[in-house]
Amino acid sequence: MKERAYKEIQCSAACNRVRGRFPYHWDLNIYRGCAHCCQYCFALYSHEYMESDDFYSEIFVKTNIAERLERQLKSRNWDRQVINLGGVTDNYQPAEAHYKIMPELLKLLIRFENPAIISTKSDLILRDYDLIDQLSRVAYVNIAATITTMDEDIRGVLEPGGVSSSRRFEVLGEFRKTNASTGVHMMPIVPYLTSTRENLEAVFSETKHRDIHYLITSNLNLKGPTRAVFFQFIREEFPQYEQALTNLFCYGKDYKDYKKKLYQIISEVRAKYKVKADFGSIIKEKNAQFQAEQLSFF
């Protein structure tokens, strides 16, 4: 693995508009590139805009992002919409231990009482526990962890820069003590590696045990540079699955059959553990509930 290089840049806006079927419309990413080195990362294409092909090691840092966020939150046109922090890259990746930008952003969200979603694969988020706890008392907050497998042998090569899955569950358990809602993002499910019933049972059962509010899933999509990186990883670590995965990701009948079978297993496991799936409804429900409770004080 290459030595990381941090490059400081200026951004014109803190939040980017997100279009699509999401329960939020604004996304904020402090960093471009991510040292967690997930072998399935959908965001590898984004480094093309920086004229760089080293997403995992060349990390761009938006050093003025707090200033830009303050300007946005102060705007007359801003209506306190939910901001998703970490939709493209992890704001709690190793660079954050040095730059310490998240506390500045959290203080602004507290000041302007703005709701937020924070997604991470790191336990560095616990450094800001008190700030997130404080934010959860003045605005709606959701804390989510991406957890794809409970098998540490697989997790260690699939997501080498993240903390263990058990540690991620511990982090969510800590935030259950705040007013925030919590979620598990089992995204993506990787055929043959994390799609087994045994693994699905393990993640769902731990989610239920920890009393996490919801668990959502998504399939692996191989587009752009992600496809080449993923198959290089498979050839090096799991060559026994290369041909089957190649056939699968022709997106023909094999893929359709795989999705149908996977959805059936997920449905059965979800029913068994009674874990909610509707991420958007939970966020809207919790946000509306929070706003109603706040209004009751006046």
Q: Which of 168-172, 263-267, 288-292 has the weakest average pLDDT?
A: 288-292
| Model pLDDT, residue 288 | 72
Indicate if the pLDDT at residue 1 is higher than 70: no
Which pTM was predicted?
A: 0.93
| Model pLDDT, residue 19 | 82
Mean pLDDT of 160-170: 97
| Model pLDDT, residue 279 | 73
Rounded-to-integer distance, Cα 249 and Cα 25, Å: 30
Indicate if the pLDDT at residue 22 is higher than 90: no
The tens digit of pLDDT for each residue in 72-87 reads: 999 999 989 999 998 8
Q: Could you tell me if 142 and 286 are in contact, meaning their C-beta atoms sit under 8 angstroms apart?
A: yes
Give the residue from 126, 114, 59 showing the smallest Cα distance to 89: 59
Q: Could you tell me if 106 and 74 are in contact, meaning their C-beta atoms sit under 8 angstroms apart?
A: no
Provide the pLDDT confidence category of residue 51 given band limits of 50, 70 and 90. Answer: low
Rounded-to-integer distance, Cα 256 and Cα 192, Å: 15
Mean pLDDT of 101-121: 97
Higher pLDDT, 297 or 275: 275
The tens digit of pLDDT for each residue in 23-38 reads: 888 999 999 999 999 9
| Model pLDDT, residue 20 | 76
**Angle, in degrees to the nearest 10, between helices 129-136 and 102-111:** 20
Q: Could you tell me if 215 and 201 are in contact, meaning their C-beta atoms sit under 8 angstroms apart?
A: no
Mean pLDDT of 112-121: 96
Instruction: Give me the residue label for tokens 């007359």.
Output: 76
| Model pLDDT, residue 4 | 83
For the chain, the average pLDDT equals 92
Mean pLDDT of 119-147: 97
Mean pLDDT of 135-164: 97
Q: Could you tell me if 47 and 54 are in contact, meaning their C-beta atoms sit under 8 angstroms apart?
A: yes
Instruction: Give me the residue label for tokens 């093309």.
Output: 48
| Model pLDDT, residue 43 | 87
The tens digit of pLDDT for each residue in 177-187 reads: 999 999 999 99
Higher pLDDT, 126 or 51: 126
Tell me what percent of the residues of the chain surpass a pLDDT of 90.
81
Mean pLDDT of 33-55: 83
**The two three-digit tokens of residue 77, written as one number:** 């046109």
Q: What angle do CA 15, 20, 24 make, to 5 degrees?
A: 45
| Model pLDDT, residue 24 | 86
Q: In the chain, what are the domains? A: 5-287 (3.20.20.70)
Q: Could you tell me if 270 and 202 are in contact, meaning their C-beta atoms sit under 8 angstroms apart?
A: no
| Model pLDDT, residue 298 | 46
Q: Which of 53-67, 123-137, 230-244 has the weakest average pLDDT?
A: 53-67
Indicate if the pLDDT at residue 49 is higher than 60: no
Range list of H helices, the chain: 65-74, 95-99, 102-111, 129-136, 152-158, 165-175, 197-209, 225-237, 242-248, 253-273, 279-295
| Model pLDDT, residue 242 | 97
At a CB cut-off of 8 Å and minimum separation 6, what does 34 contact? 41, 43, 55, 56, 59, 89, 90, 93, 161
Q: Could you tell me if 75 and 40 are in contact, meaning their C-beta atoms sit under 8 angstroms apart?
A: no
